[in-house]
Amino acid sequence: MEIVKNRRDRSDSDSAALGPEPAVPQTGLTPAVAFVHEHLAAQAGAVTISALAAMTGLHQNTVREHLDQLVEAGAATKSKAASSGRGRPAWLYRAIGSPRKGASEYLGLASVLAAQIDRTSPNPRADGIAAGIDWGRDLARGVAEMRVDAEEAAPAESTATDETLALLDSLGFAPEPVPAEATDAGRRSFRLTRCPLLEAAHEYPDIVCGVHLGLVRGSLESFGGPGADSELEPFSEPGACRLHLHDDTVADSPTAPAADPQTAPASGESAGPAATRKPLK
């Protein structure tokens, strides 16, 4: 599977029209401008023209014109990004009234951490996946602890995939199932139609998308399911990334032993640390 490289190897046009596509109703604007505004309003933090162009599938010049109209109409704000030493700082846009409550600070922290990994790690993607696995385990453990405190049990028919999808939904990924006829046998696929770290993902896809893949793997394994063979296709289609999981709704057939995580390849969608499956008690 093709690996999405970090921003130093990507152009703005590579992911145009691909990736998560949030939808928030908006009235009082022309349809074209409202289309841009609804994507802008759905973002947790300020975004660049190139990121918004990738979300909407529109040309950057068209997006710029619509954003200027939004700023003039008082429906958006415009500010300069901090200088990164790579040319002129980009303009950042935010819809007025879009949710903040610390989200922009969280997004900024994620971008800073991704940049640090990119500069210092010999294998940024593998490190991103490893961090994501730890994150997924912690989140799944938190779910289990809350159920213990509330003296609640997991739903009787719930699978590890169901639990992980619920976790992704709570984080803002808005997963949608892909029809079974469009999915390989033994697999279940889902469209991730939202991304809580979309701007950072556009800048450092290898790292941020690696963290999200690791999050899925760590959660699945903690809930007692197979996580190591999960795959994520970042910016794979208009409006979504695509997630491929093992189908845990059918009985498993005998398979070859899993690869030793110490010798597994460090690149590719299935690369990165693989944890022992230990369902939470």
Which CATH code fits 12-101?
A: 1.10.10.10
Q: Return the pLDDT at 211.
A: 95
Query: And the tokens for 132?
Result: 């994501």
Q: Return the pLDDT at 172.
A: 81
Residue-averaged pLDDT of the chain = 76
Determine which of 155-159, 188-192, 252-256 has the lowest per-residue pLDDT on average: 252-256
Tens-place pLDDT, residues 125-167: 999 999 999 999 999 998 888 878 777 777 777 899 999 999 9
> Is the CA virtual torsion 221, 224, 227, 230 positive or negative?
negative
The confidence band for 241, taking pLDDT boundaries of 50, 70 and 90, is very high
Please indicate, yes or no, whether the overall pTM of this predicted structure exceeds 0.85: no
Q: For the chain, what are the domain ranges? A: 12-101
Which conformational region is residue 225 in: left (phi greater than 0), alpha (psi within -120 to 50 degrees), or beta? beta
Q: Is the distance from CB of 227 to CB of 217 less than 8 angstroms?
A: yes
Tens-place pLDDT, residues 36-91: 888 888 877 788 998 888 888 889 999 999 999 888 888 888 888 777 666 778 88
> Rounded to whole angstroms, how far apart are CA atoms 157 and 162?
9
> Rounded to whole angstroms, how far apart are CA atoms 221 and 218?
5
The confidence band for 212, taking pLDDT boundaries of 50, 70 and 90, is very high
Is the confidence at residue 277, as pLDDT, over 60? Answer: no
More confident residue, 108 or 186: 186
User: CA dihedral defined by 62, 65, 69, 74, rounded to 10 degrees?
Assistant: 100
